Structure 1
Amino acid sequence: MAAGQSHSVLFVCLGNICRSTMAEGIFQHLIKEKGLSSKWTIDSAGTGSWHVGCPPDQRTMQVLKKNGISNYHHLGRMITKEDFSNFEYIFGMDHENMEDITEMRPRNSKAKCMLLGEFDPQKELTVQDPYFTHGSNKNAFNEVYDQCYRCCTAFLESLNL
């Protein structure tokens, strides 16, 4: 990143209360640790409207807090056509998200749209949706945190900041 240059990233999942907010909170934390907050615009959005205006899932917030990220705030929103000109990077969490992103993407968009999992050192392309894991996988939100942390860290490293 050249001196004075800024970047922007949007994380996208289905409802914008679990995976994308987890990634956004982690990324904000990593950027703050590097002293680069003023050089980044970071946000998240969903492809569906179920949770517009809602805060992140309480399980997302619990896992973020457990990992030292306690100052994260967000209200759910849907991805918009404007996001494709406002953000340099748009990361989907799974292939369905990417299909929706690709379908919405204007032809002249310069946004780099890809799976966040493309940066996973463990080669897990899909960030699994933990929302419906009530009791079946009590560790699902922790697994999403771990994967998003790996991916966000690797993405930052790829930029040679």
Structure 2
Amino acid sequence: MINVLFISLGNICRSPMAEAIFRKRIEEASLSEFVTVDSAGIGHWHEGKEMHPSARELLGQKGISIVNHQAKQILAEHLEAYDYIIVMDQLNLQDISAIAPAHTSRYQLFSDLLPERAGEDVDDPFFTDEFEAVYEMLEAGCAELCETIKQQTEWKEPV
């Protein structure tokens, strides 16, 4: 199994959007038996809350289902289970590195999935209201991650 975790600040916009988009991608690629996906937030402010209404509405318009999302905060002990730990911005990267410095080699900025956007932050639509722009970036990055994992799982399959 390959375990993927998306992390954002509060786990109500970017990371659950990425989780839903990526889940659809892995289902379409018939990778569900090889890959798990989850999301979490750095902070506790929104813990237990649903996805931001604008994010949920946009995903619905794109034909992407949301599976009973409830925001949760990431804790250091949760990180052991993940192969890919993908954060949405530089501040998230600093925060998660402080929470669990032992795992820094597995932390990756989401934008690094897209060579032309490497090092950029995925802007937080909670503050910018730019849900469509965030969706486009998440969709492109999730497509790249799905291809990367597809190649890994194909490589592991017996000939």
TM-score range, shorter chain: 0.7 to 0.9
Q: CA deviation at 1:80?
A: 1.1
Would you say 1:23 and 2:13 are equivalent positions?
no
Could you tell me how far 1:122 is from its partner in structure 2?
3.6
Aligned residues of 1:89 and 1:111 also touching (Cα < 8 A): no
Q: CA-to-partner distance for each residue in 1:36-72, whole Å, 9 max, x for gaps?
A: 1122121100011110000100111111111110243
User: Which one-letter code corresponds to 2:60 in the other structure?
Assistant: K
Compared with structure 1, are the counterparts of its residues 80 and 72 closer, same or farther at alpha carbon in structure 2 (3 Å cutoff)?
same
CA RMSD of aligned residues (A): 1.7
Instruction: Tell me which residue corresponds to 1:137.
Output: none
Divergent runs of 4+, >4 A: none
The answer to whether the aligner puts 1:119 opposite 2:113 as a matched pair is yes
Q: Is residue 10–residue 41 contact of structure 2 (8 Å, CA) maintained in 1? A: yes
Task: Please show how residues 1-20 of structure 1 align to structure 2 within 5 Å.
Answer: 6-20=1-15
Q: Distance in 2 between matches of 1:62 and 1:122?
A: 28
State the distance in 2 between where 1:85 and 1:110 align. Answer: 12
Contact 1:91/1:115, CA 8 A, preserved across alignment: yes
Q: Choose 77-86 or 46-55, whichever is displaced more.
A: 77-86
Displacement, 1:144? 0.7
Distance 2:122 2:17 in 1: 11
Mapped to 2, the partners of 1:33 and 1:24 lie a distance apart of 14
Q: Tell me how far apart the structure 2 counterparts of residues 61 and 36 of structure 1 sit (CA, whole Å).
A: 24
Q: 1:75 to 1:22 in 2, by over 3 A?
A: same
Scaled by the length of structure 2, what TM-score is found? 0.87
Q: Deviations over 1:84-117 (max 9, x none)?
A: 201111111000000011111242x486111011
The match for 1:57 is 52
Residues 31 and 37, structure 1, Cα contact 8 Å, conserved in 2: yes
Looking at structure 1, the residues matched to 136 and 9 of structure 2 have their Cα atoms a distance apart, in angstroms, of 19
**C-alpha offsets along residues 8-35 of structure 1, whole Å, 9 cap, x if unaligned?**
0110000100000110000000001111
The whole-number CA distance in structure 1 between the counterparts of 2:67 and 2:132 is 17
The runs of 5 or more residues in structure 1 that have no matched partner are: 1-5, 135-139
For structure 2, the 5+ residue unaligned runs are 154-159
